[in-house]
Amino acid sequence: MILAALIMNTQGKPRITKFYDHVSVERQQEILRVVYSVLSSRSGNLCSFVEADDIFGPDTKLVYKHFATLYFVFVIDSAESELGILDLIQVFVETLDRCFKNVCELDIVYNFGKVHTILDEIVMGGQVVETSSAEVMKAVQDIWKLERVGELNPANIRGIGHYKNSRS
Amino acid sequence: MALSGMRGLSVFISDVRNCQNKEQERVRVDKELANIRTRFKNERGLSVYEKKKYVWKMLYIYMLGYDVDFGHMETVQLISAPKYAEKQVGYIVTSCLLNENHDFLRLVINTVRNDIIGRNETFQCLALTMVGNVGGREFSESLAPDVQKLLISNSCRPLVRKKAALCLLRLYRKNPDVVNVDGWSERMVQLLDERDLGVLTAVMSLLVALVANTPHAYWNCVPKCVRTLERLTRGQDIPQEYTYYGIPSPWLQVKTMRVLQYFPKIDDPTIRKSLLDVLQRILLGTDVVKNVNKNNASHAVLFEALALVMHLDADKEMMSQCVVLLGKFISVREPNIRYLGLENMTRILLVADVADSIKKHQSQIITSLKDPDISIRRRSLDLLYGMCDVSNAKDIVEELLQYLTTADFGIREELALKAAILSEKFAPDLSWYVDVILQLIEKAGDFVSDDIWYRVVQFVTNNDDLQVHAAAKALDYLDKPAVHETMVKVSGYILGEYSHLLARRPGCSPRDIFHILNDKFPAVTTPTKALLLSACVKIMMHCQPPDPELVDQVVAVFRRYESSVDAEVQQRAVEFLALARKGTAFVDIMAEMPKFPERQSPLLKKAEDTDGDASEVSATKIRQQQMQQEQNSTALVVADPQPANGGLHPVSVPKTAAPARHSEQAVTSETPQDSKSFPPSQSQAHSNGGTPQQAPGHTPGSASADLLSDLVGPLSLEAPPPVASTSSSDLLALEAPPTPTAAAATPADSLALALLDSAPTQVQPLGNVSEWFKELTLKDSGVLYEDPYVQIGLKAEWRNAQGRIVLFVGNKHTGPLTNVKSSVLPPPHLRMQSAVVPENIPPRAQVQVPVDVACLSASRETAVLEFSFNVGHAPVSVQLKLPTSLNKFLQVAPVSANEFVARWRALGGPPSKLQEVVRGVRPMPLAEMANLFIRLHIGVANGLDPNVNNVVAATTFYSGTAATLCLVRVETDPSDRTQMRLTVASEDPNTTYELKEFIKEQVMDIPFPGQSPQAATVTPATIPLTGPAAALAGLI
């Protein structure tokens, strides 16, 4: 089972956190801290797996990928395949990339709701729902179409990417 | 769209991002939370748009790590909104913010249900996702049937169905009863025909959970899984969008192979063959390629295939093929592959006999121990630990020690512990062991627990030829600057006891040694000071003729501590001062420590305990554990967890031919005041001990014993202190010599004496022999017998009327077992032939004894193994039932309903068909009874009997060349589970009778020792192994 899906930046700021087993806020923060301190101490050419027994209990692992300023971390138990999860992270990132055209950290910050929608199409209750990036895209685009219906208040619509220019 | 369209939200996010520090962030967040709170209070003025915006803000704040303890109601209310956009926000945020125990969730069960049963697919998806993420028990009860309907519906889109599958999985986890096993297994078979790979992936996940709980109920899914795997590996009918870097849905391939690992065993030859063919293709067809993602995916499949091959217990050739592959992986550049290669090598070691081929990679594995990646180093450490045996222990342990000097902190403790365990378990000789531990203390003293150095002391005390070596080593280490305190303890103790053996060497005079010890006083803690005082007094005593200058110096030390604030140190100083004036009595009291009784290493015990500790349900894991247990059980370990004090009763102790000084020591100690502070065995020793004689300082001595036991009480690494009465004597035994008083000396002595006296007749099994037998009736490998000296493990294979049992006789003891004899006494209906056991079994060695069995007719009698050996000069003999029970010659017989009924009718009545109402049945649910039958190789035919309270089963009994089909019917009364009506039918009246009786025995209440007479059929729980006759009486 996937116990959690986390996206955090290389400064340790959480960008997306999703826990598939109930975890209190304090514990979530502690987990994020420990995970960050573990990952930030690992250099580039090491393997993508870290045993997480101390953080999540016996037989758990962090499977992570590092993209630019972001860590994508999935916490899994021994019922999942490590490399399979790496594939899944890749699918997740490829999908984000398609949605946001060259996804960057800011896309995820300002569109965390969208990212949640995408994640929900890939993982549900700690299990994988869909592994095809194309299928996920289809589902997500349908959802966004629906969201727009009845919400065409031009004042509220701003082009995706405006924040990329207005970065402070 | 909702988010980027929400200006307020973007502004808030920007604000938070612009905060310079955490404090500013908190201020900004608090301001926002206050704002949201006020806005929610005046809900009337709140537009839908605003509500959505605030709820998104709440989620954002929550993700930043702030508790959001309000607004849940508003969030949940959005779920009931009619518009998609609001509903969606409501569902997403609810499943992040709330958990299954939240009261508000219950409020929306109805809304959620309406969305699920409604026609709007997008609503269905939202609802299913939310329930799949946070649904609790209440959701299970009210939604499961609707979700099931969606999953099997033909009219739903795949998008909805795959979510329904995973939603059902969540509901099943919350309440397994929502899936009716009987009906659902057929459904699962149909679902596995699904063509849409998305749905199929989700269905596989569901299947994993179902099979993990009740594997036997889903047997019929196995062929479908194999076919799915074939379809995928052949790339048949795989849509483009499910091809990931050219590989047909690697994820689904992995999942499918994972499912298959949850089935305990796949026996059907055709299925097995096609499965192994597929696996073979995967093993051969995977190459390392440039593209990282493609490489990952193909290796994900490959590693899963390896795991499945291991699970299937494939033939030797395929296993060694796996090892070759793994050997390749552990030396590639790609770290992920290297990591998994090491991990899987450790795993394969547990399930297959491949140790020798893995040893070929030893140097590569040792290289990985120095990998820059700690994840890889850990895997390598685990593997080295797993592959270590007597043949390579020296190399591996020395490698670990070397690594210890440079290892980073995170891994040092584990490393030190593993080195200690391995060196103890596989030491080629004891002097090597002592060297290793001393090195370990020098390099990582902080991680060497007291158990470990106690163990060194025990070995040195018990082995005369080790003492000079140990004393010399101890002196070397102690003479270095900045010595770790543990080193001071162990060296101080050893030098106190044995340094006189070095006296002739240069620089080893008692005076030299005293000076070295004396230098250590200022830097050590109080308990160590006490130990050093004892060492000093011993050195003084050994110095013959007395060296007046040395005496003066030692006495000066005692005087220094005479008024120490620590009671223990003070007491020793005072007592030693007084003793020093005692002349010859002093020499007796200070005599060398007697040998320790054999006892289990606390370290190894702990290692075994943690090995067996896991909570994973996967079949592979369970299998691994079983293998591990088997391994452990054959691992030859010095084990004697028996309470050294309570078990061996030294009533006649002082009469035995113990060295004189022991009894004297005992004598000096014994006074009435003393005895009351000891367990009964000591006072008994006392009463036989002769004239009580007052020893100086005896009264505080007894107190000091307790104190000592407190001091050294918390022995193991972090385990709770052992139970006082048994442990204190253990501990005292170790710490005894320093205290010349009764308290310390007696327990140790009485123990040693008891052992000398008559250990053999008092050898007790380390568990319940009849329980072991019972377990072996139901399975084919496990422990048959174990006592402190010997362990007999058993592995059996049965085919029709033939069988082969292999007994694994292991000597756990540090001395050889001599005069070993075993003979098998077959009952009349069995023909048995057993190999001869070698007369001597060397320490820690194991021999295998194959026994061939052929069954001639049905009988419940079992064969008996007579096993005897000598420990030292004392004979031990046990008689053990061998698990050649009737069910071993049974094989599940699949019969169709028609066939069954026809046969049943044909076998009219007695004596071919016998019926009996059995009372005193152990109450169990029907499923458990069915399970028991399956384990007894009696195949349950589900659904054959229209009455759900009945179990109908069929099996074939093999004897000689005959095969007899036996039919069984059990009628139970749901209102009274303690009785049942049992009918057995077969063509052979004897078989019918015996099988009926056998089933009766198996379903009857588990007998407790001395309970009902019917228990006699199953041996009483603890066989009194005191005499062969008694044992036999218990057996037959």
How far is residue B435 from each of residues A52, B307, B384, B438, measured CA to CA in Å?
35, 39, 20, 5
B1008 touches A: beta carbon within 8 Å: no
- Verify that B861 and B908 share a domain, yes or no: no
- Verify that B848 and B892 share a domain, yes or no: no
- Verify that B861 and B928 share a domain, yes or no: no
Inter-chain CB proximity A156 and B7 less than 8 Å: yes
pLDDT of residue B33: 94
pLDDT of residue B335: 93
Most B CBs within 10 A among A39, A83, A100, hence the mutation to make, goes to A83
Residues in B 163-202 with any Cβ partner in A closer than 8 A: 163, 166-167, 169-170, 197-198, 201-202
Search chain B and give the residue with CA nearest A1.
Answer: B205
Residues in B 250-279 with any Cβ partner in A closer than 8 A: 250-252, 254-255, 258
pLDDT of residue B847: 83
Q: How do residues B42-84 score in pLDDT, each as one tens digit?
A: 867 788 888 889 999 999 999 998 988 888 888 998 999 888 8
Q: How do residues A39-77 score in pLDDT, each as one tens digit?
A: 999 988 899 999 998 888 888 999 999 999 999 999 999
CA–CA distance, B990 with B859 (Å, rounded to integer):
8
Tell me the shortest Cα–Cα distance from A153 to chain B, in angstroms: 9
Tell me the shortest Cα–Cα distance from B162 to chain A, in angstroms: 7
Dihedral of alpha carbons B1018, B1019, B1020, B1021, sign: negative
- Chain A residue numbers touching B246 (CB-CB < 8 A): none
In which domain, by residue range, is B535 found?
449-609
Search chain B and give the residue with CA nearest A109.
Answer: B13
In which domain, by residue range, is A65 found?
2-167
How far is residue A19 from each of residues B133, B396, B488, B733, B1010, measured CA to CA in Å?
9, 41, 50, 53, 54
- Domain annotation covers residue B895: yes
CA–CA distance, B544 with B500 (Å, rounded to integer):
10
Inter-chain CB proximity B129 and A120 less than 8 Å: yes
Q: Picking from A92-96, B14-18, B165-169, B427-431, which range would have the lowest pLDDT averaged per residue?
A: B427-431
* Count of domains forming chain B: 3
Inter-chain CB proximity A22 and B170 less than 8 Å: no
* Count of domains forming chain A: 1
Whether A165 has a pLDDT exceeding 60, the answer reads: no
B18 touches A: beta carbon within 8 Å: yes
Inter-chain CB proximity B205 and A127 less than 8 Å: yes
Q: Which carries the bigger pLDDT value, residue B705 or residue A145?
A: A145
- Chain A residue numbers touching B133 (CB-CB < 8 A): 20, 120, 124-125
* Among candidates A84, A149, A157 on the partner chain, residue whose Cβ is nearest the Cβ of B300: A84
- Verify that B820 and B879 share a domain, yes or no: yes
Search chain A and give the residue with CA nearest B300.
Answer: A83
Inter-chain CB proximity B132 and A125 less than 8 Å: yes
* Among candidates B4, B303, B621 on the partner chain, residue whose Cβ is nearest the Cβ of A160: B4
Sheet with B864-871, edge to edge strand ranges: B817-825, B864-871, B874-881
Inter-chain CB proximity B92 and A117 less than 8 Å: yes
Question: What is the token pair recorded at B388?
Answer: 């270590």
- Chain B residue numbers touching A158 (CB-CB < 8 A): 4-5, 7, 10
B84 touches A: beta carbon within 8 Å: yes
- A127 and B202 in contact (C-beta within 8 Å)? yes
Search chain A and give the residue with CA nearest B159.
Answer: A139
Size of interface A-B (CB pairs under 8 A): 212
Question: Contacts for B395-400 with beta carbons within 8 Å, 24 or more apart?
Answer: B395/B362, B396/B362, B396/B366, B396/B422, B397/B422, B397/B423, B397/B436, B399/B366, B399/B369, B400/B369
B21 touches A: beta carbon within 8 Å: no
Q: How do residues B886-920 score in pLDDT, each as one tens digit?
A: 888 988 888 887 788 888 888 877 888 888 888 88
Q: How do residues B770-779 score in pLDDT, each as one tens digit?
A: 888 888 888 8
Q: How do residues B343-373 score in pLDDT, each as one tens digit?
A: 999 999 888 788 888 999 999 999 999 888 9
Whether B711 has a pLDDT exceeding 50, the answer reads: no
What residue numbers of B does the annotated binding site cover? 7-8, 49, 53-57
- Domain annotation covers residue B976: yes
Inter-chain CB proximity B376 and A79 less than 8 Å: no
pLDDT confidence bin for B625, thresholds 50/70/90: low
Phi, psi dihedrals of residue B48, rounded to the nearest 5°: -60, -40
Q: How do residues B845-889 score in pLDDT, each as one tens digit?
A: 788 888 889 888 888 888 888 888 887 777 888 888 898 888 889
Q: How do residues B318-329 score in pLDDT, each as one tens digit?
A: 898 899 999 999
- As a whole number, mean pLDDT of residues B254-279 equals 92
Residue A51, beta-bridge partner list: A61
Please tell me whether residue B678 adopts helix, strand or coil conformation: coil
* Among candidates A48, A49, A168 on the partner chain, residue whose Cβ is nearest the Cβ of B14: A168
- Kindly report the CATH number assigned to the domain that includes residue B800: 2.60.40.1230
- Verify that B871 and B921 share a domain, yes or no: no
Residue B244, beta-bridge partner list: B247
Search chain B and give the residue with CA nearest A167.
Answer: B14
Question: What is the token pair recorded at B380?
Answer: 């390598």
Task: Name residues whose C-beta falls within 8 Å of residue B377's C-beta, 6 or more positions apart in sequence.
Answer: B368, B369, B370, B371, B407, B411
Question: What is the token pair recorded at B463?
Answer: 């082995």
Search chain A and give the residue with CA nearest B53.
Answer: A113
DSSP string, B24-45: HHHHHHHHHHHHHHHHHHTGGG
pLDDT of residue B635: 31
In which element (H, E) is residue B148 found? helix B137-152
- Verify that B853 and B906 share a domain, yes or no: no
- Of B884, B911, B927, which marks where a domain is finished? B884
pLDDT of residue B1005: 65
ipTM: 0.90
- Kindly report the CATH number assigned to the domain that includes residue A154: 3.30.450.60
Residues in B 351-390 with any Cβ partner in A closer than 8 A: 372-373, 375-376, 378
- Domain annotation covers residue B92: no
Task: Give percent of chain B above pLDDT 90.
Answer: 30
- Domain annotation covers residue B824: yes
Question: Which string of b and e fits B490-522 if b means at least 16 CB within 10 Å?
Answer: bbbbbbbbbbbbbeeeeebbbebbbebbeebbe
Inter-chain CB proximity A127 and B7 less than 8 Å: no
- Verify that B927 and B796 share a domain, yes or no: no
- As a whole number, mean pLDDT of residues B303-332 equals 90
Q: Which carries the bigger pLDDT value, residue B988 or residue B613?
A: B988
* Among candidates A25, A117, A135 on the partner chain, residue whose Cβ is nearest the Cβ of B241: A135
- Verify that B491 and B598 share a domain, yes or no: yes
Q: Picking from A70-74, B10-14, B446-450, which range would have the lowest pLDDT averaged per residue?
A: B446-450
- Verify that B896 and B996 share a domain, yes or no: yes
* Among candidates A91, A120, A168 on the partner chain, residue whose Cβ is nearest the Cβ of B17: A168
pLDDT of residue B282: 93
Q: Picking from B166-175, B222-231, B574-583, B685-694, which range would have the lowest pLDDT averaged per residue?
A: B685-694
* Among candidates B85, B166, B293 on the partner chain, residue whose Cβ is nearest the Cβ of A90: B293
- Domain annotation covers residue B1021: no
Whether B656 has a pLDDT exceeding 60, the answer reads: no
Inter-chain CB proximity A81 and B258 less than 8 Å: yes
Inter-chain CB proximity A58 and B614 less than 8 Å: yes
Angle at the Cα of A120 (from A119 to A126), degrees rounded to 5? 95
Tell me the shortest Cα–Cα distance from B832 to chain A, in angstroms: 44
- Domain annotation covers residue B982: yes
Relative to beta strand B962-973, strand B950-959 is: antiparallel
Tell me the shortest Cα–Cα distance from B3 to chain A, in angstroms: 6
- As a whole number, mean pLDDT of residues B724-742 equals 37
Tell me the shortest Cα–Cα distance from B64 to chain A, in angstroms: 6
- As a whole number, mean pLDDT of residues A104-117 equals 92
Whether B105 has a pLDDT exceeding 80, the answer reads: yes
- Verify that B585 and B454 share a domain, yes or no: yes
pLDDT of residue B502: 86
B162 touches A: beta carbon within 8 Å: yes
- Verify that B876 and B892 share a domain, yes or no: no
- B792 and B826 in contact (C-beta within 8 Å)? no
CA–CA distance, B55 with B51 (Å, rounded to integer):
6
- Kindly report the CATH number assigned to the domain that includes residue B938: 3.30.310.10
- B314 and B353 in contact (C-beta within 8 Å)? no
- Verify that B927 and B956 share a domain, yes or no: yes
- As a whole number, mean pLDDT of residues B943-966 equals 84
- As a whole number, mean pLDDT of residues B410-415 equals 83
pLDDT of residue B504: 82
Most B CBs within 10 A among A123, A131, A162, hence the mutation to make, goes to A131
